[in-house]
Amino acid sequence: MTRESALGYGRHMSAPPATPLDDAGALAAEAARTIAHRTGVLGHDIAVVLGSGWAGVADALGHTVAELNQSEVPGFSQSPVVGHAGKIRSIRAGDRAVLAFLGRTHLYQDLGVDATVHYVRTAAAAGCRTLVVTNGCGGLREEWPPGTPVLIRDHINLTGITPLRGATFVDLTDAYSARLRAIVQAVSPGIPEGVYTQFHGPQYETPAEIGMVRAIGGDLVGMSTAVEVIAAREAGLEVLGISLVTNYAAGMTGQPITSEEVLDTGQASATRIGDLLARLLPEV
Ligand code: 8IG
């Protein structure tokens, strides 16, 4: 569904005067109303987005109250990426109402940055105060083999893209909440922490690009998360980021990176990372 049709403006009607940010906010509010109506859950507390390799953990998070296709909710596109189911699930985890997004829209789908961060704005409009963002990624550290969960401590946005419009000076100090990371460290002592570097994709990096990431302080590489977290901080959400290393970054093993490796690692790790997330949600 296009934004215009989602808002009830047909092709035959002229769009209202362009106020892009209000427009994005209005579409998120409409998505939140649809979610409330279709799930019967009037407000949610915690949003979780499950990225590559994380699809198998959804069932571990709690009791499923309702599930929708993302394509049924205004502003969401059907995600075509294998391993991304394109669902929205309302989950009861203890006393928390969790809004889980199974699959996300990526920048490389060329649907625009607003489509990429729409789930974040929708989560905020649905009442969420916390965002747990997960992804599958390449790892630059030898000591973090595929299958290692890593807490995101900070990010480097190499996409050249921002979800912010105009002079919106959002502070990203402590974007990845030190409070929430301390809770994870209590639940899962010794979990490593690293700096996530977002590329636009969809190509994986060259070995030379991985050399650059290393030089500027990146530990993880992927194609999501940083731009979403910027939108989350604009919306006032407290953010917890967890990466699952699904492959060594380009040039580290002498082997190519394959989608099979990425998916296999996710499946093999589902029980462990599902358990981690499930124990975490009641604490955040
Ligand atoms: I899964 O090695 C996954 N996503 N940019 N590089 C980038 N994205 C990824 C990678 C990777 N692995």
Please state whether beta strands 220-222 and 130-139 pair in parallel, antiparallel, or not at all (unpaired). antiparallel
Mean pLDDT of 209-228: 98
151 Cα: distance to centroid of ligand 1 (angstroms): 16
Looking at residue 172, its amino acid is L
Nearest to 150 by CA among 221, 203, 210, 93: 221
Q: Lowest-confidence range among 2-6, 84-88, 197-201, 258-262?
A: 2-6
- For 93-103, how does the pLDDT look when each residue is reduced to its tens digit (9 = 90+)? 999 999 999 99
Max Cα distance, the chain (Å)? 59
pTM for this predicted structure: 0.91
Closest residue to atom 5 of ligand 1, CA basis: 222
CA distance 93 to 279: 10
213 Cα: distance to centroid of ligand 1 (angstroms): 13
150 Cα: distance to centroid of ligand 1 (angstroms): 14
Q: Please state the atom number of ligand 1 nearest to the C-alpha of residue 138.
A: 2
- For 71-81, how does the pLDDT look when each residue is reduced to its tens digit (9 = 90+)? 999 999 865 55
Mean pLDDT computed over every residue of the chain: 91
The answer on pLDDT for 19 being more than 60 is no
Please state whether beta strands 96-102 and 193-198 pair in parallel, antiparallel, or not at all (unpaired). unpaired
Q: Please state the atom number of ligand 1 nearest to the C-alpha of residue 51.
A: 1
3-state helix, strand, coil in the chain (%, to 5): 35, 25, 40
Closest residue to atom 2 of ligand 1, CA basis: 138
More confident residue, 215 or 13: 215
**Domains of the chain with bracketed CATH:** 23-283 (3.40.50.1580)
Q: Please state the atom number of ligand 1 nearest to the C-alpha of residue 257.
A: 2
More confident residue, 32 or 272: 32
Looking at residue 32, its amino acid is A
User: Which residue among the candidates 205, 209, 228, 234 is catalytic per the annotation?
Assistant: 205
Please state whether beta strands 130-139 and 46-50 pair in parallel, antiparallel, or not at all (unpaired). parallel
pLDDT at 20: 57
205 catalytic, yes or no?
yes
